[in-house]
Structures are given as structure tokens and as C-alpha cells.
Structure 1
Amino acid sequence: MSNAIQEYITYLHDFRKISHNTEVSYKRDLKKAAEYFEEQNVPDITKATETNLNSYLLYLERDHMSPATVSRNIASLRSFYQYLLRVHRIEDDPSVSLKSPKVEKKVPEILTVEEVQKLLEQPNIQTDKGIRDETMLLLLYSTGIRVSELVNLKVEDLNLEVGYLTCRENGKERTIPLSAETEEKIRTYIESARTRLLKGRDSEYLFSNCSGSPMSRQGFWKILKSYSAAAGITKDITPHTLRHSFAAHMLKNGADIRNVQKMMGHADIATTQMYMRLM
């Protein structure tokens, strides 16, 4: 990988404090672009011209990349070249005239209350795994947190005496109240299944897999998919579907939109207002 790309990724990690997923995304996009330029006899991505970049975008479109993916790649390239300009690695920014394709915003799909209930009924709570899975599903749906926040939750992030959890990401934190049902499920999980799943190990993380290691995003995704199929839900469910469903159901039940915005961690209330259309 180009030294310039590695320096940029280090900058994002150490100084911008971006999320791990965003860091991986930038690294992947830039590495793919560098490989393309090398095939076009431009061995150094810092030497790419505006023509080279436009050629690369045409290549992505011919490769049937979605407008959203092309737009993300443009954002990665723009940020990279702006960094190079600031640190005087280049004299002109070749990405300055790049134009992103129009991305049609899709209305997110949500589950009905009945579908959520069916999903929550699937884990076998006679087993440690089932107790853990039910707790994770309910926690995700009842708080609207992101799956990355779910799997990175630490025991110290919970205040079960008062009934709330704290999410921390990118130097920001927000406090989210827990329902009585969710609080009870978490207590049951911690006092029983969690200890056995950890197999005697110490862990600061709330959820672990059956090997005692911290749960991964991919691991939870597979769990959700299996329970969705078992519940007979035909919608293409992702962890974000439960987050969307939480927001839509909260607003439908009369929750204040500002409170929902805070719980979701939305910087712009317009993002939260989108869920009004799903009611």
C-alpha cells in the first residue's frame, strides 16, 4: 500500500479519531483506486490527475457500482487529496472538480410491532445463548443503538440502578434510558448466562460469543438473520432495521421528536424527521 495512504490512515486514526468502520472504508477505497492507477501506468496515487480520477469513476460505474458506492469513493478521494494538499505533498487537488452522482434516498424499511414480537420470541431462553440473544435483540430494539455500539458496550456503560446506558463513540457520548423489561433482561443475562459464556474469563464487554470472546458485528448479524428466518419474516432485516423500527415506533406512540433525536444520536433533526413518514 502507498506510503501516502498509510500516512493518511494514521492521521485519521490518531488525530481525527474516526470510527473503525470509517477507517476501514477509507483504506479500502483508496487501496482500490491506487491499484487501478497502477494498472493505468500511474504507480503513485499522489501523481494521479483529474483525468485519471474521472477515468477511475467511469471504471466504477462500468463495474456496476451503485451511485451510493461511487459517491462514497469520491468522498474518500476528496478527503485524501485535501489532506495531501494541507501537508504539502501535492500542489494542486485533482479531485476538486469531481461530481458525485445523484443518490436517491431510500425510505428505510421497518418491522411491524407484531414482527418485532415474533423475532423476540425466537431465542430459546432455556439456554445461555438464547438468554444472551434475546437480551441483545431487545436491547437493540428498545434503545435504537447502532450494532457497533451494541457489541462494544461495556459493563461499566450500564447503570441499572437508575436505568440507563451510555454510548461512547468518536469522543461523543449520549445517555439512553432503559425500559423496565430491558433492564430486567440485562440483569438476568449478567447474573447467569454471561458468566457461563465467558468460561471463567474476565471481560469488560457486556456480550460475548460462545467461545468467550467479545461478540462481533458479523456474529450478531448472523444471529439476527437466523432468528428472522425462524420467525418467518420475509423482509431483508439488518441490525439497522431494528434501529429504524425503534425510531418509527417511538414517534408513532407519541414520543417527543427531540428526545428521539438525542437517543438516536442524530446531529440533524431532519434525519429523525424522516421516520415521521413511516408512521
Structure 2
Amino acid sequence: MELIPLTPEPERPDHGTSTAMVPLATTSLRRTDGELPPVCLQLSSSTLIGLRVYLDEFARQLAQQKPGSTTARTYFKRGRYFIAWLEQGREPQVRRLDRTCLESYRAWLDHRFANLRTKNGYLTAVRQFLTWLVPLHPGLVNPADFVQGWTCSRQHTRRHLPVEDAKALLAALESDPRKSELQRARNVAMAYLMLKTGLRTIEVSRARIEHLQELVPGEKWRLWVHGKGRGSADESVQVLKEVYERIQAYLALRPGPLQESDPLFATTACLDRGGNVVTPAGKRLSTRAIHRIITEGLLLAGVKKPGIVVHSLRHSTPTFALLNEANPTRVQKMMRHQHYATTEIYVEEVQRLLEGAEDSVTQI
């Protein structure tokens, strides 16, 4: 069945759509037997400029829907990456935004990036953008519907810390000779909290003193968590007595008076050789600073190995809980997983660790 390209026709403005943006130029392919033609975007210079304008609007609307999320910024960055690839003038057959174009971009991502999740991330950004764009152009076919991403393993590429390594990390942070007493107290309290509650680095950075509240007098406390993609501290984790005491020992060393709105884990004054303040004291720790502190602790303890990173502390929390036969549903709530499927990955990994079928191969 032969496909004959038509001469592009001027697009009529659709007064029924809510956007006031100018529709992009389209082209179509008509089959010789008279079937209805699929419509796709022709990649002219004006269309590429228009795609950038639409991408700006897409990111703006997404940012309004999720004000506290970084998704809009990530999709915008990766969408610009895709448009820049289109502007470079690839193969001659890539003249329209169709399935062939998306498959070429997929092949280019496959060559450009090694990590499967990174490749899928870039392809997902394009898929979400096109899904938003297509309804604004009646009859337009979404080429992303025909291009699949990469299948990723359900197992984590980052490993959890063994119990002895976790203890070694805490001991190294507590005795680090390069740090002051205040810094050592802060670092060990922070790492202990991360290991016992599974907090992310962004959640540690956002924590304030007022977020730590008593739950059971003298036994348990609650820390309200300003989670990733959240507009406020609307989730919580339980803080046990041993962790609370570490935090209080650190707060007692902080110069006061402390305010309820002050960060729970704060910077200490950093001076250059001339005695000038580079980093003032009392500011909240950035995620980069937290990464540096934990990574230095892993290296100092001698437990920094392939797959062991800062995020391994968060992986360790559900692993330790499940090894001690914690209820998976409660683990999901503790880790604040939106979907149980995420928690199920940890359940499968622990089951694999405890009940691997390899242990039954005893004949040889």
C-alpha cells in the first residue's frame, strides 16, 4: 500500500480549544485506497520555534498543577533537549514528527546514555509533552504511542548498608577528628535519623525544629516531613527515644536562642583564609552539603563500595524493618511510598535474601 505525502494545507484555528496559541503546521499521509489520513507535525523552522513556545506553556501549566514539585523543571529541561536534537537536522527521513522521528531519537538516547532509567526519563518527558500537545491540534497523531521505552530491572541498583557498616558509619561520624564537637553531634544525629526513618536528603534539609513534636510522652516523637514534591510538611515519621536524644544533644550545643522556625540541622560558620565568612551559621543544610557529609563518613568508615551511596541509607531502613518481620503496609507508610508496588520491591529483595532458591541446590 503506497503512501503519498500531501502538500501541507494551512491549519484553521480551532475556536473550541482553550488555548490562544497559534496551531502548529501539520502534514498528512493519504493512502491510495482513500482511507482517512493520519496527521503529524512537519518539522519546519517555524514549527520548531512553535514547539519551544508550546513547551514553555506546558511547563507553566504543569508547575501550576504541582507548585512544590520539580517535575515541571525536569520535563522542561528534557523537552528542550529533544527540540535541540530536532534542530540539529538528523537523518533526511526525519522531516516530520512521526514514529520514525521518535524511533530515531530513542536510538540516539540509547547511544548517548548508559543508564536505563536516564534514557526512560528523557523519553517520558517527550511523551508527556506530546500527550499534552496533541489535543490542541485535532486529528494529530501522537507518535510517542508507538515507541516503547526500555525495560528496567525491578531490583535496586543501589544497595542497602549491612548492619555492621551502618554502625561503622555512625561511629566514624561521631569520632571524626576533622570536625568540631558541634559538627560531629549534628552529623551523627542526622545520619542516625536517616537510617531509622528513611528520610531523603531533601526532607532532612527542609526539616525545622518545630516539626519535631512529642507523640508518646518520654517514649516516641513525631517528625513532620516536608516531602519531595509536597507544598508543606504534611507527612510524618516516628522518632524513637535514642534518635530524639541524639538530636537534643546536638541542639543543646547550638548557639541560641533557637527559634521554632530554625532548621533542625543547620550550617556552622565557614571562614576563608582571610577570616571572611563564606557560609554563615544557622542556615539550613543544602542537599549537596548532606551528600558530602554522608559520603565523607562512608569513606572514613571504609564502607564506601560499589552501589553504596548516600541514598543507601534510605534503602537500609525498609530492609532492616522487613528483616525484623515488620508489616509491609506499615513499611509503606513509614517510607511514604505513594504506591505499594514500590514497597513490594523491598519485600521481594528481602525474601530473595532470606529464602533464595539457590540454598536448596545441595546435590553438588
What TM-score do the two structures reach when normalised by structure 1?
A: 0.85
Q: Is the 8 A contact 1:144 1:247 kept in 2?
A: yes
Q: Greater Rg, structure 1 or structure 2?
A: 2
Match of 2:251 among 190, 198, 203: 190
How far apart are 1:161 and its partner, in Å? 5.9
> 1:159 maps to which residue?
213
Q: After superposition, give the CA deviation of every residue in 1:121-141 in whole Å (9 maximum; x if it has no partner).
A: 112465211111111101111
- Higher relative contact order (Cα pairs below 8 Å, separated by 6+ residues): 1
Alignment-mate amino acid for residue 4 of structure 1: Y
Q: Does 1:7 align with 2:7?
A: no
* Structure 2 gap segments, 5+ residues each: 1-48, 269-278, 354-364
How far apart are 1:152 and its partner, in Å? 1.4
Alignment-mate amino acid for residue 196 of structure 2: S
How far apart are 1:89 and its partner, in Å? 9.2
> 1:39 maps to which residue?
88
Q: Is the 8 A contact 2:210 2:261 kept in 1?
A: no
Q: After superposition, give the CA deviation of every residue in 1:169-197 in whole Å (9 maximum; x if it has no partner).
A: 3358322110101111112222323x47x
Q: Is the 8 A contact 2:189 2:250 kept in 1?
A: yes
Q: After superposition, give the CA deviation of every residue in 1:75-132 in whole Å (9 maximum; x if it has no partner).
A: 1111111112344599332322121122123344111111101101112465211111
> 2:43 maps to which residue?
none
Q: Which has the higher helix share?
A: 1
Question: CA 1:179 to 1:84, structure 2 compared with 1: closer, same or farther past 3 Å?
Answer: same
Where 2:226 maps in the other structure, the secondary structure is strand
Q: Which has the higher strand share?
A: 2
CA RMSD of aligned residues (A): 2.8
How far apart are 1:249 and its partner, in Å? 0.6
Distance, in Å, in 1 between the alignment partners of 2:151 and 2:215 is 48
Question: CA 1:24 to 1:222, structure 2 compared with 1: closer, same or farther past 3 Å?
Answer: farther
Q: Does 1:272 align with 2:343?
A: yes
Give 1:66-81 correspondences, 5 Å limit: 66-81=115-130
* Structure 1 gap segments, 5+ residues each: none
Aligned residues: 271
> 2:3 maps to which residue?
none
Where 1:95 maps in the other structure, the secondary structure is helix
Q: Is the 8 A contact 1:132 1:207 kept in 2?
A: yes
Distance, in Å, in 1 between the alignment partners of 2:123 and 2:113 is 16
How far apart are 1:149 and its partner, in Å? 1.3
> 1:261 maps to which residue?
332
> 1:115 maps to which residue?
165
Greater shift, 107-116 or 47-56, is seen at 47-56
Using the aligned pairs only, state the percent identity: 24
